[in-house]
Structure 1
Amino acid sequence: MYAAVVHALGQPPRYESVPEPVPAAGEVVVEVLAAALYPLVRSFASGGHYTGGDALPLVPGFDGVGRTAAGELVYIPGLEPPHGTMAERVAVPADALMPVPDGLDPVAVAAVMNPASSAWIALRERGRLREGESVLVLGATGNAGRAAVRLALDQGAGAVVAAGRDPEGLRSATELGAHRTVRLAGPDEEVAAAFGAAAADVDVVLDYLWDHPAELALDGILRHRADLTRPLRWVQVGSAAGPDMTVPSAWLRKADVSVCGSGLGSISGARRAAALRELLARLPALVPTTDAVAVPMAEVEAAWESPMPSGARFVFVPAGGGEPASGSWESVGDREPV
């Protein structure tokens, strides 16, 4: 069979022949129909992820959609190097497979599951959003941010504030249901004041940016918050703007602020699996939040180096797996803005 294979950390994979998977006890072989490329996959392939290793060669791909020998369409969660999902077939623990709702396109499911799961777990497991509470999505113009807007509303959020740099992305967030927006442009004082006007009394912040935008958001919220004893739950999910944030100690003393992270190490495997099963049931309403661009697996090396289209995900499909779901990957625009 064929797979995408990384031979040097940080280098794009090559499409080449590999041995067939040999299932261990409790495992089954699944035919892979679609496997998405996104930052987590790149991080594993570069050896830079905080949970990853440096074993080579490796097949990238963290999750995907496949078909069992019995013909069931399933979601394949959480495979880690060196045995990833960017292969024609993979061996997976049978009890880890999750049925995909009827009528959904495998390519679309593969594109949306990672960004949606990041938002879902951050909201449900880490932010513990309650019905009627308000949410600020910091970085709402990316794939995960758009999913977070939709999922927060799905969970009964009373108000959702979308913040990001790209005006088109903010318009899209409004179309998804965001009540207010904050554009990350202009002098720092103006941006902080905009956060104060739009998000001063939010209950939960889902932060996909970190670094300076998060500093401005927290400063603006705390300076304009009507009741500083009202709990503010800040969930750190990503660091698209940078890895470090400066938090003056006084900010944490003058208000009820709690900060936690949401990632692969923040909840147990059992809780993660349960959350993913809940999310799969909600997928029909979420698929439109991420455009899928299908790419033949044989072209993985060229696609790996190509900028990702705005609001979309490359999804690798087996040879002969069908036409692209959304145009041609060779004519994509700029890398996705935050």
Structure 2
Amino acid sequence: MRAFLLREYGGTPELDVIDEPLPGPGQVLAEVLAAGVNPVDLAIADGQLGTAHPLPRVLGNEAVVLLGDRVGYSQRTSGSFADRTLVDPAGVLDVPSALDPTAVFAAGISGQPAWIPLETTAALRPGETVLVLGATGAAGQVAVQAARLLGAGRVVAAAGHRPTLTALLDRGADEVVVLGGPDDAAALLEATRGGADVVYDPLWGAPFSAALRATRPGGRTVTVGRSAGEHVAAIPVFDFLGRTMLSYRNGGASPDVVARAFGRMLRHVAAGELVVDTSVFPLSAAADAWAHQKSVPHGKVVLGTA
């Protein structure tokens, strides 16, 4: 079978032909209908994560798969960038067979760290004002729409890419802010009309610090990553006092919470109410998909089956 294979950490994976993997206990071999490409895949290839795994290895952590006549989604695959992959049937979530497999990933690894932090971690209440940082990424796009679908009264989308931000005005955002101006905190404060009740933060660093200054007393922030590339955010104590800082990471929620969130998001996807800009590449062009992911795309990258 074809597979996108990593032969050394720090190197670039290549498409190759290998033997099908042999199922272990609790595993079955499934046909891959589509596979999601994620920043974590880049981190693994660069040797930042998972280096205990022997090489060569097939990359990929999530897939829409076919098990007999059952279509399902799994984010516990080990090597989904291939024609076939191993999955635990007990961990596969059902997907309507009529749904385009490439659309399912809005509810997957990119969607869950948007929906679950807002619905469960920050416990978004109807009518609240939500500020979404990093709104042009796949998770950020879901967060903007999730905030609206969960009942937010006002949604502000903030990021650095104006064209994608502008498109979000048709997907739930009331106003957009292009970050990187002379005073981001002031711009965010104005856009939120006096401050956000909830801040969704996949960026950390300077953008988070600015957003914290544009948060109402009693507000909550929920951080899910550090896509801004900074390990440290400067937080003056008086910007923090009276506010609650929360965090979420994929893999930290219970399977029941994940399954419920996936089901809710998938219903919105099927209804056309949850849309993520998606770039689809055939498996034969996996190298192009990889390069596109490395370019920091404003949306989701998916590998198809052709």
Once the two structures are superposed, residues 170-192 of structure 1 have per-residue CA deviations (whole angstroms, 9 ceiling, x without a partner) of 2111111211222214213xx22
1:250 aligns with 2:238: yes
What residue in structure 1 maps to residue 119 of structure 2?
A: 124
Deviation at 1:166, TM superposition (A): 2.0
Contact 1:3 1:88 in 2 (8 A): yes
Do the aligned partners of residues 308 and 105 (structure 1) sit closer, same or farther apart at CA in structure 2, a change above 3 Å counting? farther
Contact 1:111 1:290 in 2 (8 A): yes
Contact 1:111 1:314 in 2 (8 A): no
What residue in structure 1 maps to residue 206 of structure 2?
A: 212
Tell me the TM-score normalized by structure 1: 0.81
Deviation at 1:136, TM superposition (A): 0.8
Tell me the TM-score normalized by structure 2: 0.89
Percent of aligned positions with the same letter in both sequences? 34
Do the aligned partners of residues 278 and 303 (structure 1) sit closer, same or farther apart at CA in structure 2, a change above 3 Å counting? closer
Q: Where in structure 2 are the equivalents of 1:31-50 lying within 5 Å? A: 31-49=31-49
Identify the match of residue 219 of structure 2 among 226, 232, 255: 232
Contact 1:35 1:63 in 2 (8 A): yes
1:289 aligns with 2:271: no
Deviation at 1:286, TM superposition (A): 5.7
Q: Distance in 2 between matches of 1:184 and 1:263?
A: 24
Q: Where in structure 2 are the equivalents of 1:179-328 lying within 5 Å? A: 179-188=174-183, 191-199=184-192, 200-221=194-215, 225=216, 228=217, 231-243=218-230, 244-253=232-241, 255=242, 257-285=243-271, 289-306=275-292, 308=295, 310-318=297-305, 321=306
Q: Distance in 2 between matches of 1:127 and 1:315?
A: 29
Q: Distance in 1 between matches of 2:56 and 2:273?
A: 33
Matching residue's letter, 1:216 = A
Once the two structures are superposed, residues 163-220 of structure 1 have per-residue CA deviations (whole angstroms, 9 ceiling, x without a partner) of 12222122111111211222214213xx221122222332211012211111112123
1:135 aligns with 2:135: no
Contact 1:36 1:61 in 2 (8 A): yes
What residue in structure 2 maps to residue 91 of structure 1?
A: 86
Structure 2 unaligned blocks of 5 or more: none
Matching residue's letter, 1:41 = D
SS of equivalent residue, structure 1 residue 145: helix
Matching residue's letter, 1:218 = L
Which range is displaced more, 275-284 or 33-42?
Answer: 275-284
Q: Distance in 1 between matches of 2:239 and 2:279?
A: 43
Q: Distance in 2 between matches of 1:84 and 1:125?
A: 30
Matching residue's letter, 1:207 = D
SS of equivalent residue, structure 1 residue 115: coil
Identify the match of residue 76 of structure 1 among 74, 88, 92: 74
Deviation at 1:96, TM superposition (A): 0.9
1:64 aligns with 2:57: no
Once the two structures are superposed, residues 26-69 of structure 1 have per-residue CA deviations (whole angstroms, 9 ceiling, x without a partner) of 332210011122212222332324xx343222211110111112
Deviation at 1:288, TM superposition (A): 6.3
Do the aligned partners of residues 187 and 210 (structure 1) sit closer, same or farther apart at CA in structure 2, a change above 3 Å counting? same
Do the aligned partners of residues 314 and 264 (structure 1) sit closer, same or farther apart at CA in structure 2, a change above 3 Å counting? closer
Deviation at 1:6, TM superposition (A): 0.7
Q: Distance in 1 between matches of 2:273 and 2:18?
A: 32
Once the two structures are superposed, residues 45-103 of structure 1 have per-residue CA deviations (whole angstroms, 9 ceiling, x without a partner) of 32324xx343222211110111112x222112233xxx221121112111111111243
Q: Distance in 2 between matches of 1:163 and 1:309?
A: 16
Structure 1 unaligned blocks of 5 or more: 322-338
What residue in structure 2 maps to residue 30 of structure 1?
A: 30
